[in-house]
Amino acid sequence: MTVYVRSLETAVPATKLIQTEARDVFAAQPGLNRLGTRLVGTCFDSAAIDTRYTAVDELTNEFRSDNPQFYDRDSGLLLNPSTKVRNDIFAREATRLFVGAARAAVEACPDLDLLDITHLVTVSCTGFFNPGPDYKIVRELGLDPAVQRYHLGFMGCYAAFPALRAAKLFCEADPDAVVLVVCAELCSLHVRTSNDPDTIMGSALFADGAAAAVVTANPAARNHALLQLDHFETVLTPVGEDSMAWNIGDNGFEMVLGNYVPHIIDDHIVGALQPLLAREPNLAALPYTGITHWAIHPGGRSILDKVQSRLGLTDEQLVPAREVLRNYGNMSSATVLFVLRHILEQDMPEQGLDTGGERICSMAFGPGLTVETALLTKLRQAPPGSSRDATADQVHQEVPVA
């Protein structure tokens, strides 16, 4: 049974971080030693990021608060709120992103009735609350209260793939299933000043964003679908368990992102792809000429460099991943869906199913070290546009959230 992605929409908070301005704030913190100051400059400048978005509006100099929790504009000091303070903000602000992205994905399918949605899968690793985002989406959008709800929590940057794979399985089991998948991450809630290299790297890379997709196997959907979900695979590399991790501390979540991660990916990426590409032997050998697009999770510039070099990909094939990194940073699980959206907006020589579509190989990396891969088919071009700035009530294109 063929399973389709009807829509794929993205959303970001209103507050934009300029990378050079954020670098200067972090570099000016009084607790940094000489090495820490040098690392801040190196990590921020080499990240290949120009802008990112955050739900924490006080992280910019344009916002003034009488009771700052993250950044005191008057003193220039970064503060260190408790995990509870950070998570309380997550519960409020993540709901806006979850609901906004979900609404955009549903509204992109004008023939779809809200009561047609049978399953809801939500994803996040940057906070917890219950009733959770799945409940909030059902209530805010007016979905059937009996919709089957699932939440994938704390999996990290690769979690969009298990969510889409679950959606595919639901649709294969029930031809009438319509699955709404929503990923939302508020990584910036966990930034802090530190001399620790992993913490500095996280502050230079991570950002906030959300993405949502409508998935169905209804044959009528093929006339409007953007993507076809072909195959998914999961691989654990033989090394790397201690090189990438995500732990809960007293003052937010703590990231471990060892500088050896790009080397692990370099050593094992070809082998990690083999179970996926073996599904279609004509695609399984280097060079991968049968694959038009590569949707790589931009975990960082060095990771993209290693993937491109090892797989022999062209600069053009890495444009979607590098552009998402440059404009949005690393938004954990939502990021690879931004990359797919970028690919969907690219021109196709001929639109529609008559051409058979363009093959996409996608992958993301996370704690473990886990490599999740997907083989997809682009069926038609999506209307051009940028990420939406989302509230719980509406989604506007290129309109900031007040």
157 is catalytic: yes
Cβ atoms of residues 114 and 143 within 8 Å: yes
- Strands of 77-164 (E only): list them: 77-78, 119-124, 148-153
The span from the first CA to the last CA of the chain, in angstroms, equals 44
Count Cβ atoms below 10 Å from residue 98 Cβ, excluding itself.
27
In this structure, the number of other CB atoms found within 10 A of the CB of residue 161 comes to: 27
Omega of the bond prior to 112 within 30 degrees of 0, cis? Answer: no
What is the distance between the alpha carbons of residues 321 and 299, in angstroms, rounded to a whole number? 9
Residue 150: name the closest of 166, 139, 161, 174 by CA: 166
Catalytically annotated residue among 43, 109, 125, 157: 157
Rounded alpha-carbon distances, angstroms, from residue 225 to 115, 266, 289, 397: 19, 34, 24, 21
Maximum alpha-carbon separation in the chain:
62
Residues shown for the chain:
402
For β-strands 119-124 and 148-153, DSSP reports them as parallel
> CB neighbours (10 Å) of residue 216?
27
**Nearest one of 118, 247, 265, 103 to 179, comparing CA atoms:** 118
What is the CA 243 to chain-centroid distance, rounded? 20
Could you tell me where the beta strands, DSSP code E, fall in 208-243? 208-216, 227-236
Catalytic residue annotation = 157
